[in-house]
Structure 1
Amino acid sequence: MRILVSGAGIAGPVLAYWLTRHGFSVTVVERAPALRSTGGHAVDLFRPAVEISERMGVLPHIEQRATGTSRMTIHQEGSRHPVPVDLSKIFGGTSDRHVEVMRDDLSEIYHDAARDHVEYLFGDSITEISPDGEVRFENAAPRRFDLVVGADGLHSQVRRLVFGEESRFSAFIGAYFGVLTLPNGSDLDGELRMHVGVGRTAGMYGARHIGDARALFLFRSERELDCHHHDVERQKELLRGAFAGMHPEVDGWLDALDRTPGHGPESESGSEWGSGAGSGFYFDSIAQLRMDTWSRGRVTLVGDAGYCPGPAVGGSTSLAVVGAYVLAGELARAGGDHERAFPAYERVMAEHVRGSRAVALSAAKTLVPTSRLGVRGLAHGARLISALPAGPGRALLRLTTKSARFHDSVTVDVYEASPTTAGDRIDLRR
């Protein structure tokens, strides 16, 4: 059975790995000419995704490339007193097994896990999908596949071709997110430096093995701004306007925009990065994909393409890994019968998707406070949790943030080729 996957970011390679394990023939098409290798931005894997990565045999490689960020310093806008935070305790309060890793590193690791068993078509994209499975490409000759999976991100081409324009399903949740690659001039080693004000948050962090740093920006907007996701100059203009005068250090980060060619969001990764250190730039609205179904005929969607809970705030990377694993497993369980497998996949993922959306809405409110009281609450709440012993700190986090441990609260089936073991379950709850 031949399956075409669009997108070689996170969900695509994970799906390809598990599909080949279940005996399917897989082709992955990716519009970028090659895997991106400039790092991207930091993403989080929570317990379910860590467990799946462990079953893939790639967890040691992921842990080896972890960012190593363990401390945070919060500067409240208008205050001279920075607040130190033990970030490892915050992470420990949200997940018993958590790894922060650069997105491009993670993509490469997942790609390498099954590259010898998967056909990859780089530098190409899908232009047409027929109901009978015939697919036309921008460059390659037309081919017929039994199934097509869109793993091509928030701005999915597959979703547009099969379900219609993105505006029908995208719900803006009131904020924007940007990431900029910079030289690590502050010699950040395991530290996240944050500046928090009313309606805006900026930060900078490094990673142990990449040699440069990332500046991140989140800001609120009551309405969706006039900015196409490929209009890089407009994106930079919006960032400058939102963060002007926040702090001299932040002004320095923004100055680097003049030296950053950058690109807008492009593929499943949600971003297109420049070719060298200091050249990467990403910007997009924080929006949720809300679809009644993400399957139609021989086509289904996985990860951000079908149910993005909100970039940077909803655990979308972990959700994509889980979704890819479940989709492959349900196809195997149904013997490749998509009319059985696709509805089962959607039933399994429905609760995870709803929960991740709620997490995203809560996280956006916390990370980008709407009042001075919220700014103080974020800074001093984080300091209190990090100052307490692990047990009380975890309990306080659960009391103050209802969704704090959602990502660790789900169960995922163990999908084996043999039907006698397919019904076993891994209990991922703590």
Structure 2
Amino acid sequence: MTTHPPFASATTDTPPGALDGLRVLELGTLIAGPYCGRLLGDMGADVIKIEAPDRPDPLRDWGQAEGGHQYFWSVHARNKRCVNLDLRTEAGRRIFLDLVATADVVVESFRPGTLERWGVGYDVLREISPRLVLARVSGYGQTGPYAARPGYASVAEGISGLRHLNGFPGQAPPRIALSLGDSLAGMFAFQGVLAALIARGRTGRGQIVDAALTEAALAIQESTVPDYHKTGHVRQPSGTRLDRVAPSNLYRTQDGLWVIIAANQDTLFARLSAAMGRPDLATDPRYATHTARGDHQDELDTLIAEWAAGFPAAELIELLTKFEVVTGPVNTVAEVMADPQFNAREIFVDHVDPSLGPGDTGFDPEPVKGVGVIPKLSETAGGVRWGGPSRPGTHTDEVLTEILGYDADRLTALREQGTIS
């Protein structure tokens, strides 16, 4: 890993991260690539996000807004320094390649072939820095008959078979209210970058990390592929439960809320039976084993649903917890933020945009809560040093001065010709 000096925007009260000293250049827009960059920044890397002066990341306009500030952006651009630089110009490409010479990782999420079209493909980057790791995040990967197609999370979830598994049999398969395929691809790209950096420690050479949204969505599908390959079984959507895994479902309580009860192991089912005042269920041949409970899943769900409906949600969870049955509520985000477990672990942390001052956008930018760094590391935890800066190009002068040694006259000339803004 290349050691770089601390950067000017960092706060002093954030513990060093495991990737402290790593420099990352992030190209691309929206969620998958920037999410990989965010995860690297969470762990302490100096992430420099490069946006075209005339085409900033559309993610800046996503999510709920206040005073012109989008909170989706705060979370996905946190811990990043934002630089405006036009890679479609010769001057912009030269600046980018000078930055590459100082970097450990480049993350890009353009359609395959875009970097090559701009004259900054991996062959060029590798000549400048043989140790560079290039993470390429795209819809379908860098090769194959679909590689040139544009890719979005919704289509990736569909083509991978993931969407087919969601919802209820015979109904249109719904999507979760998140860009799940993007986030999965960003996580797999992050994982690939870490593995490539470890390999670089042995070989001294960087490499390409090729992460596809479609393949990330496919990779989490448990045994669907071997099940089909060897038995011809096509797993189907199963609504609120898993087929033949019982009991593991959600049940409506007396006060109209939903509670999840997962007691599909024999020992757990015995505890649930005791909590229900029906210890006989654990020895009933219809329910005594995992296979038997799968065979009688519908009647078992009906029995538990009728019992659960006699309790308010809080009372039901308290009772089941006393008997050490796996259980929990189906929370909204409001209930999540009030949950004592998350708060005891200090999961929610402040995101502050240092580029905003009182009155700049018509409101006083109070810190906004977001989810902190996950997982927690005991020695090099990292943290949220700042939220994503609202203004495009906030750190352009800082980065080019600090890293490349540009003076004010050179910055002014670049700005006048439109290379930076």
**Taking structure 1 as the reference length, what is the TM-score of the superposition?**
0.30
Compare the two structures and name the one with the higher strand fraction: 1
Q: Structure 2 length normalisation: TM-score?
A: 0.30
Which of the pair has more CA radius of gyration?
2
